[in-house]
């Protein structure tokens, strides 16, 4: 359990491209499953609605914390301080919202997608930086 917490909820150290991509994918799959499971509860009635809303909100808050942690460590690998997560996470949320809307909004959100692609695929610092040694 400690390894899982360190992988997804630690804000220290650096995170390379491939582990960032894979862990982000796992978090997105988990969020999709949580929303899929809570959807029938939301339609079931008054008590089920509250149970579905509370469960989904709590689960998504935990998943958002994990995503912020991954972005912080990926920014550390790129040489940026953790507070840059504010604009990186905002770009992630905005692109997610825009990608589910009309085509003209998707085109307007392409710069936000570019930020996501940069964060995911740009190589980190070659050697050690102020946040630790190069990740393996």
pLDDT 10s digits, 97-134 = 888 888 888 888 888 888 889 999 999 998 889 998 88
Q: Length of the chain in residues, anyone?
A: 136
> In the chain, what is the greatest distance between 2 CA atoms, to the nearest angstrom?
56
The three-class DSSP label of residue 57 is helix
pLDDT 10s digits, 15-34 = 999 999 999 999 889 888 88
DSSP letter at 134? P
Residue 123 has what pLDDT? 92
Q: What is the pTM of this model?
A: 0.85
Token look-up 């359990």 returns 1
The whole-angstrom separation of Cα 130 and Cα 46 is: 52
């Amino acid at each position: 359990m400690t390894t899982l917490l360190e992988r997804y909820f630690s804000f220290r150290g650096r995170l390379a491209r491939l582990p960032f991509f894979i862990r982000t994918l796992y978090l997105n799959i988990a969020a999709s499953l949580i929303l899929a499971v809570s959807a029938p509860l939301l339609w079931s009635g008054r008590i089920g609605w509250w149970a579905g809303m509370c469960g989904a909100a709590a689960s998504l808050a935990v998943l958002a914390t994990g995503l912020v942690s991954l972005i912080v460590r990926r920014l550390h690998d790129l040489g940026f301080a953790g507070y840059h997560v504010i604009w990186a996470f905002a770009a992630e949320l905005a692109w997610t919202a825009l990608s589910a809307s009309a085509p003209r909004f998707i085109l307007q959100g392409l710069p936000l997608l570019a930020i996501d692609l940069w964060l995911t695929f740009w190589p980190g610092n070659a050697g050690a930086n102020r946040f630790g040694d190069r990740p393996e």
